[in-house]
Amino acid sequence: MADSAAPVQTNQPHVALITGAAQGIGRAIALRLAEDGLDIVITDLKSQRMNLDGLADEVRAKGRRCLVLECDISQEEEVQRMMQAAEQEFNSLDVMVANAGRILVKPMVDATLADFDGIFNTNVRGTFLCLRAAAQAMIKQGRGGRIISASSVSGKKGMPFHSIYCASKSAIRSFTQALASELGSHGITVNAYAPGPVDTLLMHGSADEFAKHVGLPDGKTLIQSYQANAALPRIGTPEDIANMVSFLAGKDSAYITGQTITIDGGSWMD
């Protein structure tokens, strides 16, 4: 009798959903996956609607369909509506990129429960809701899939003044490993990307705040210090991260699962 095997996603995926897509890394991921030939669902907070609409125009200019949705991923009902709208529009979900997240730079001794809840509600609760919804949809479809989440180098190695953020991104790494073990029999891979500093507005704002705590004049000086200690002497670009997501979303990564892949120019080496 032939051995049973999990369904394997051998065809090029067709539809990707990206959270936190209005700017920065999420925006670059949406554009790269559109270039790869996928139709795109982009989501972010209501306050980001103008940015989402502009991104949708760029996706459509590449010849791909694009659905724009407003969603606070920390709210279960909104995540459910997001998934239902995506399935109704495209009748498919092949790739989920749980990219949305927040950062906090603050000494732990000064942090409040409101700080903790704010970060964990988005980074951990929100990612959990997105991963669960995507897993349920892909299992129902029965043809495999790709689930990809945003961790961080800070989820592999704790950083001063980032304690709550580090813990939240470490949780993503654990989600990735556990869910990969659960979904392998369905042909669904589960991976995460772990960026170091990336040239985005979010990063520059947090670098300025971090610099204050470590006695440096500004975030630019902090970034220069980071570059001097990395194997590749520059910070990342959103496109660097999007390139990895493109690989993890495609058929060539079919035998990779449960991994949190560092993308930081060789500052942190596993």
What domains does the chain contain, in order, with CATH numbers?
15-197+237-263 (3.40.50.720), 200-235 (no CATH)
pLDDT value at residue 214: 77
Structure tokens at 247: 């690989």
Dihedral in degrees, nearest 10, Cα atoms 147, 152, 153, 158: -130
Beta bridge partners of 18: 42, 97
How would you classify the pairing of strands 95-98 and 66-70?
A: unpaired
Q: Is 255 a catalytic residue?
A: no
- Residue 106: left (phi > 0), alpha (psi -120 to 50), or beta? beta
pLDDT truncated to tens, each residue of the chain (270 aa)? 344 455 555 455 699 999 999 999 999 999 999 999 999 999 999 999 999 999 999 999 999 999 999 999 999 999 999 999 999 999 999 999 999 999 999 999 999 999 999 999 999 999 999 999 999 999 999 999 999 999 999 999 998 999 999 999 999 999 999 999 999 999 999 999 999 999 888 877 787 787 777 777 887 887 887 788 889 989 899 999 999 999 999 999 999 999 999 999 998 887
Structure tokens at 259: 């991994």
pLDDT value at residue 10: 47
Q: Which residue has the tokens 């270039």?
A: 35
Q: Is 169 a catalytic residue?
A: yes
> Which residue out of 46, 140, 156, 169 is catalytically annotated?
169
> Which residue out of 62, 106, 165, 220 is catalytically annotated?
165
List Cα–Cα distances, 242 to 5, 64, 148, in angstroms: 31, 17, 11
